[in-house]
Every structure is written in structure tokens, then in C-alpha cells.
Structure 1
């Protein structure tokens, strides 16, 4: 029996996203973290481990398509949990604590193993095409949202 792969569309993309996200959230729950926590910690790491609160809130809100106030609450949760702290050099900035770095590194390592299994055997050319298509769809959707 031959099966035909579906054409990429919103439903196919959403199903892949939610299946992979469920695996990620399984890892995060074991560590007492949420998806929003993970995205926020990653943004701090990518920024060089210290970032302005407003810049962080705008970056994560843009990624998650949520309100900046929601992200500020997440930053507050991470601060109370001692995963983020005020940057001693500049009170308008936050940085990872050792516990925050440990959480980020351990969840990243666990999810890297899952990702390796999910992407195993997919030709590099197919991944490159998928990456280009999804980047274009993201750019177009962001442009639509900006115009709304």
C-alpha cells in the first residue's frame, strides 16, 4: 500500500508543532517549568545571559504572540523561583541565576535527544526546504499581524 504525504498546510504544520510541543512540555513539567518559562529563559541565553526587562518582554511576546504583560508576569515567576535575577550592573536588566542556567541546560539537553529522534533519517535537503517554507510562512503571518 502506498501512502501519499499531505501537502504542507496550516493543519499539518499545527499537528507537527503540537505533537513536538507536547514532548517538550513533558520534559518541562518534570522540571517544574512551563513552555513560557522555557521560551523566556532561552531569550535570556540568546541575548548573552543579560537583557533589559522591556527588551525581553517584547522579544518573548513577539515569539509567543501574546501580550507583553503576560511575559512580565512570567519574568516575575522566574524571578520568584530564583531562575532569573536583577543584573547587579543594571537594575533594568535581568540575568540567569545558576539555577536558571542549570534548568535551561538540562531541559535543552533532554529536548535535544528528543529532537534527534524526531528528525532522524530526514534528508538534509528536505529539512532545508521545510525550513525555508516555514520561515516564509512565519514572515507572512507576522506581516499580517502587524497590519491588523
Structure 2
């Protein structure tokens, strides 16, 4: 049995990219990208509708990417009729029924992958990993927002 390496940037990156590759396989079968999936999730979390600029901010923050990437994902989802402007206020967006269905299907398939990957890992280990990764994320976000 080999000794597990200490957590560092490489270990975190490998732990991110391997499951993401599995997720991207699911998303590709449904004809959407990772960025579009993150955007759909942000719209779901927002509730009935979300301001376009608020959605851009949420996606930009989640992906640590340029505003143009978030706006592009929103436009692609709108063109695919997975998001739409609300009738009362076109500056707000909402999921369409097909958008919600797609989100629910891809989320369920993603949850199945996660269940397989996390199977057998003690809850205490998962809680410790969660605390460490949250602390690292918070510190990185703090540095990103410094002038």
C-alpha cells in the first residue's frame, strides 16, 4: 500500500480534473458544455428568475473566468431555448422547461458519478477534506479580490 501524498496544488488539480472529465462526458452526451452546466445550476439556485448581470457575476465568480465567457454561456443557453428572458422584465432570465429537465437529468447522472467516487470514504475524512478545501478556496478568493 502506498502512502497518500500531502494535499498540494497538484493533488487538488488531479482530484478536480479526473471527476470533471467524467462529468464532461455526461454533459457532452446531452449537448452542453461545462460552462453551460455551471450557468444552468446558477439559474436553478437563483430561483424563479435572475437578473442577467447577477447571473454573469455568479458564473464569473464560480468559474474564475472572464465576463465574456459567462455572457457567452448565457447566450448559448438562450439560443438553445434552455434559458429565456422573463416576459415581465427581459433583463431577467429564467429556465425553460427543457432547461430545467436537462439540469435535472445531468445533475442526477453527476450525483451517480459522485456516489461511486466517494463510496467507502469515511464521513470524517470527507468532512476533513471539505474543511481543508473550503479554507484553500476562501484564501484564494481573498487573494483574487485584493487590489
Question: Shorter-chain-normalised TM-score: which range?
Answer: over 0.9
Unaligned runs of 5+ in 2: none
Supply the distance in 1 between the matched residues of 2:143 and 2:37 (Cα, whole angstroms): 26
Query: What is the TM-score when the length of structure 1 is the normalising length?
Result: 0.97
How far the C-alpha of 1:49 sits from its partner, in A, is 3.6
Supply the distance in 2 between the matched residues of 1:13 and 1:69 (Cα, whole angstroms): 27
Structure 1, residues 46-93: CA drift from partner, whole Å, max 9, x if none? 011410000000010011011112211110100000000001222110
Supply the distance in 2 between the matched residues of 1:97 and 1:7 (Cα, whole angstroms): 44
Supply the distance in 2 between the matched residues of 1:96 and 1:82 (Cα, whole angstroms): 9
Compute the RMSD of aligned alpha carbons. Answer: 0.8
Structure 1, residues 117-138: CA drift from partner, whole Å, max 9, x if none? 0000101110100000000000
Q: Which residue of 1 aligns with 2:22?
A: 23
Q: Which residue of 2 aligns with 1:82?
A: 81
Corresponding residue SS for 2:145: helix
Does residue 122 of structure 2 align to residue 128 of structure 1?
no
Query: What is the TM-score when the length of structure 2 is the normalising length?
Result: 0.97
Unaligned runs of 5+ in 1: none
Corresponding residue SS for 2:94: strand
